Amino acid sequence: MQAWLRFLLLAWLAIGASLGLARESVTVNWVLLADLPVEAQRTVALIKQGGPFPYSRDGITFGNYEKRLPLRQRGYYREYTVKTPGTKGRGARRIVAGREHEFYYTADHYRSFSRIRE
């Protein structure tokens, strides 16, 4: 009986890990706000003052579907566009803001993130 329970526990852990359910924390690099492009610095300032934002989709919920940020309940993260000179539309750069006033920067449309240190 104990062997059967061990097998079930290991199987449950393996399935949970493969689905990303066992990940409670994610390692994210840090970047200084002053080292970001000036457009990203402006976006953080706009977020802190509550807008106005230049794009209609600024402030929408960021789902974190790829689980590249620490796992939180849906609605915890909001995304904002960082203007990219020379591109049409919104470009790939974003700031993602958490409810606890943490900020993350992505220059590659959510493939990687750096947590912003002020």
Cα separation, 29 vs 32, in Å, equals 10
Alpha helix stretches (DSSP H) within the chain = 2-18, 38-49
Residue in 24, 39, 66, 79 annotated catalytic: 79
Reference 93, options 56, 41, 32, 27; nearest CA is 41
Residue in 100, 102, 109, 118 annotated catalytic: 109
Integer CA distances (angstroms), 91 to 85, 109, 117, in order? 9, 8, 23
DSSP classification of residue 77: E
Q: Give yes or no: 102 in active site.
A: no
Cα separation, 78 vs 1, in Å, equals 48
Q: Give yes or no: 39 in active site.
A: no
For the annotated catalytic residues, the residue numbers are: 79, 109
